[in-house]
Amino acid sequence: MKRVKVKELSAFIDQQVKVCGWVRTKRKSKKVVFVHLNDGSCLANLQIVIGFNMVTEETFQAITTGACIAVTGQVVVSQGKGQQFELLAKEIDIIGLADPEEYPLQPKKHSYEFLREIGHLRIRTNTFGAVFRVRHAMSYAIHHYFNKKGFFHIHSPIITGSDAEGAGEMFRVTTLDPKSPPLIEGEVDYKKDFFGKETNLTVSGQLEAELAAMGLAQVYTFGPTFRAENSNTTRHLAEFWMMEPEVAFYDLNDNMDLAEDLLKYLVGYGLEHCQEDIAFLSERDLAHQQTLPADKRNELSLIERLEFVIDNTFERITYTQAFEILRNSKPNKKKKFEYQISEWGADLQSEHERFLVEKHFNKPVIVYNYPKDIKAFYMRANDDGKTVAAMDILFPGIGEIVGGSQREERFDNLLQRMEELNIPQEEMSWYLDTRKFGTAPHSGFGLGFERWVQFVTGMANIRDVIPFPRTPGNAMF
């Protein structure tokens, strides 16, 4: 018999089916044993009712939390509370044992810290099942959205020879022996390396997306990106996924419109297609909020926060306006910001971003036209000579979730900016070529996918929204 998924069982009432999954709990009553089984297809467990005389003592003992079993039986409308239907077991096969003395996931509350240490098993919990189903739905919805709008998905390379963001926080890719690399004049001779040059893991697919946009007009990349920044925060990973659209003939306003429309679509998709998981995560989040000090607590529930994004127009302010607001504000009556912004040109810290979103405007905020000195070389210079056509989208609880810009499409301006920043032209000739041949205004942005999944699931730590997180000092599994 073929397996039927728990999610689809309501279509099989009064029929014989086979289900396979992992035991969550086992409970004995007077006449029967109740087993709760989860098969990953949905949050809900299936209640399996086993008559006492139906299984041998040996089988009964083998049904422990974590064990994998297959059950054949009849789907019936449940008489008990808590589930619409249940399975009356006729036959039980033990597929995989889980020794209760050793299996670390017992039916009780475990801390996220503990679960991170058993990342290979945490996927079997309600919370992580829900998070990764929502993550999948968001990834699918991104492709759906762009496909619907006539964008083309470009697979940008993971190994590159360029530093797209110019921040220099890259992981080197090499096949040279670190103990005895070939040397030339005392330095490592990368000409002898695998690619005949220095290479690294990509920090962004943007530059390649720009090349593609100058032929396909509307493209997006969606892949893993890598940053060797030593940031141990709840919002930084060394390996994270980024989705980056790039659109020819778009200016900064079009770019902001696209980003806002996408994010609203994604929230709507989640609310529609992940109802059960999001409702569960919302309760989880509520319980978590209660453990926080009053001033850190979110007044809105997760579902309210999501609806809030759909219902509100994102506030759009320039960096200069943001600077004025921040210079004249205190995060609360007594406290100052940790970094008080006093000079125009300083970068916004996450405490500032969150203040703007959570306290000042109380809605998502797009800050645009940033000082050029704190932004990447490829952003389009504004006429004031001081700012570039950049934009960051700031979200409650997260801070920056999107970073983007209109790109500098004017050859001379780009070349000059690269010279100012000592970016070697020879290595970037392919990039400059797009400005030399048929250049066009274009814009794009990058959505940090894990930060987005954090927002949609309400998970406080970015390590809990990617199956196998990579952070400084940690690359398990």
**Residues found near Mg ion in the complex (CB under 5 A):** 403
CA–CA gap between residue 458 and residue 274 (Å, rounded): 14
Kindly report the backbone phi and psi dihedral angles of residue 344, in degrees, each rounded to the nearest multiple of 5, phi listed first. Answer: -60, 130
Question: Is 250 an interacting residue with respect to ligand 4AD (CB under 6 A)?
Answer: no
Helix axes 449-457, 302-311, angle to 10 degrees: 120
Using CB under 6 A, which of 164, 341, 348, 453 touches ligand 4AD?
164
State the minimum distance, in angstroms, from the CB of residue 82 to ligand 4AD: 38
CA–CA gap between residue 451 and residue 144 (Å, rounded): 20
- x/- letters, 192..211, toward ligand 4AD (CB under 6 A): ------------x-x-----
CA–CA gap between residue 140 and residue 68 (Å, rounded): 29
Which of Mg ion, ligand 4AD, none does 206 bind, CB closer than 5 to 8 A by kind? ligand 4AD
Question: Is 276 an interacting residue with respect to ligand 4AD (CB under 6 A)?
Answer: no
Segment interacting with ligand 4AD, rule: CB under 6 A, options 184-192, 234-242, 261-269, 355-363? 234-242
Question: Is 409 an interacting residue with respect to ligand 4AD (CB under 6 A)?
Answer: no
Residue, CB closest to Mg ion = 403
Pick 245 or 403: Cβ nearer Mg ion: 403
Pick 227 or 305: Cβ nearer ligand 4AD: 227
Using CB under 6 A, which of 270, 371, 441, 444 touches ligand 4AD?
444
**358 DSSP 8-state letter:** I
Contacts of 444 (CB under 8 A, 6+ apart): 206, 209, 210, 213, 244, 245, 246, 247, 250, 255, 404, 405, 407
What's the number of CA atoms in the CB half-sphere (13 Å) around residue 177? 4
Segment interacting with ligand 4AD, rule: CB under 6 A, options 118-126, 279-287, 402-410, 468-476? 402-410
CA–CA gap between residue 126 and residue 17 (Å, rounded): 24
State the minimum distance, in angstroms, from the CB of residue 209 to ligand 4AD: 7
CA-wise closest residue to 211 among 438, 376, 416, 449: 438
State the minimum distance, in angstroms, from the CB of residue 256 to Mg ion: 15
Amino acid letter for position 213: A
Kindly report the backbone phi and psi dihedral angles of residue 296, in degrees, each rounded to the nearest multiple of 5, phi listed first. Answer: -100, -10
Count residues binding ligand 4AD (CB under 6 A): 23
Helices and strands, counts by H and E, the chain: 13, 18
Question: Is 363 an interacting residue with respect to ligand 4AD (CB under 6 A)?
Answer: no
Give the binding site for ligand 4AD (CB under 6 A).
164-165, 204, 206, 227, 229, 236-237, 240, 242, 244, 400-405, 444-446, 448, 450-451
